[in-house]
Amino acid sequence: MHFKENKLAESKKIIPYKKRRDLNVGIIIFLVISLYIFVNVVRGYTKRQVRYYEIVEGSMSEDKTHTGLILRDESVQAAPSTGYINTYMRDGKRAYVGGRVYSLDATGDLKKLIEASAGKDDSISDANVGEIKKKLSNFTANYSDSNFEYVYSTKYLLDNAVGEYSNIVNIESIDAISNENGLNLDIVTSPGSGEISYAIDDIAEKKEEDLTKADFDSTKHPVNYIKNEQLVETDTKVYRIVNSEAWSIYFEFDKGEEELYAEKKALTVKFKSNGLELTGDYSVIDTKDGYRLGKLTFDKYMVQFIANRYADFDIESSSVSGLKIPVKSVIEKDFFTIPIEFISKGGDGVSDGFYKSVDKDGVSSTVFVPADIVKITDTNCYISAEGKDIVSGDKLIKPDSNETYEISNKEKLLGVYNINKGYTVFKTIDILSSNKEFYIIDKGTKYGLKVYDHILLNPESFKEGDFIYQ
């Protein structure tokens, strides 16, 4: 019995062995793969994305858009009395000496009498309906959201045409109605021959020599459209009579544009309102307030613009060739300007740079500093303002002279980051032409770009000298 008790006591002191768990190889592989994916995802979000473009040659037709001011040989005619106007002719129709243009009804009764006498035959002919449809079709084809004036002028011309085409609005019916009812109408006739328009503004009788820059602000020179059955006061300007088919349109120059047309005697333009393409004689005039204006003169199609004082048009120019680069690849940077007389050659006789004055421990010396020149003109050269070897305040020494130049002046230049060498190198550009997506740049610059060069498409994320991992 004693023996059994000892055995039981000893058994209570035995520590049980924990069975070893074998490592699950599948779980380890899963964790390693998950960690790898996580690291690469993080790197993808933090690493700057490199997008580049390979430069190619290209060309671009550079059409210049302008809003021009139209002058004609025209005179303005005013109402001889007060009354409700009844027009006999629409805009653009030719009047002859003594021909009826409109009448004035002092009482306003004529309108009611005309409406009361309207019969079943008072309709617009098929031919006139066809002409109205043509006007609407032309409007639809050339409509632009930015040209609201075109909407107003088209509506006015349509209203004006319908008034003339209607059988009830003609000389015979008005004469008959006025005679039957004892109305005393003031009949207004044309003083001369020419096309007429009821679109009135304050520039109608202005001469070329009187033009100023302010005349090109269309918001300050609104057009007043005289409408049929409108009440007009005595001496109100009612219509214009244009005496000649010749007309001129004047426009302001964009920067460098006058030089572009310096050798031109004629220019071809395309009008946005109606798609009409015309070639006109080209010249330049000086306004009395000191501005230079382009002038185009035409000898036909005046009537197409008779209701307009301003017209939008494109000047078609020749194609421009060069290197084609995306607009989004271009950035602007600051550069030091240095007179070209200070450019020197290094000891190898090849490297461009400058001699710089250095003070150390009170002792002055001169050292040669290589520099990457990004652009050179007839007077200046340009180096990076971000460099460490030449900074603002440094004094450069002119070769073979004691003349010095202190670094201070900066200018902004347009350019791109070239990445041919595996790191970013800023290259300046000279823009020849452009549209919303691309520039055409000069390919003949000394420090510029070449065909097949690679440039960054997202330059804002980089700086000069950044290494590129493609």
Please report, for the chain, the start and end positions of each structural domain, with discontinuous segments joined by +. 1-55+323-470, 65-316
Cα(29)–Cα(130) distance, integer angstroms: 81
Residue 418 pLDDT more than 80? yes
pLDDT at 325: 94
pLDDT at 182: 77
Verdict on whether the full-model pTM lies above 0.75: no
Average pLDDT over residues 17-26: 59
pLDDT at 20: 56
Across the chain, what does the average pLDDT equal? 83
pLDDT at 461: 84
110-155: per-residue pLDDT in tens?
A: 878 877 766 544 555 555 555 556 555 555 555 555 454 555 555 6
Number of neighbouring beta carbons within 10 Å of residue 417 = 26
Q: Which of 244, 248, 302, 326 has its CA nearest to residue 91?
A: 302
pLDDT at 259: 86
- pLDDT band (50, 70, 90) for residue 360: confident
pLDDT at 434: 81
Residue 65 pLDDT more than 80? yes
- pLDDT band (50, 70, 90) for residue 73: very high
pLDDT at 404: 92
pLDDT at 98: 94
311-353: per-residue pLDDT in tens?
A: 999 998 767 889 999 999 999 999 999 999 999 987 676 778 9
Percent of the chain with pLDDT over 70: 79
Average pLDDT over residues 236-248: 96
Average pLDDT over residues 201-226: 93
From residue 241, alpha-carbon distances to 162, 204, 272 in Å are: 21, 10, 25
370-379: per-residue pLDDT in tens?
A: 988 889 988 9
**Surface-to-core class of residue 220, CB atoms within 10 Å of its CB (0-12 exposed, 13-18 middle, 19+ buried):** exposed
Find residue 74's DSSP bridge partners: 242
Helix H or strand E segment including 110: helix 109-117
pLDDT at 127: 56
pLDDT at 15: 57
Token representation of residue 312: 């939008």
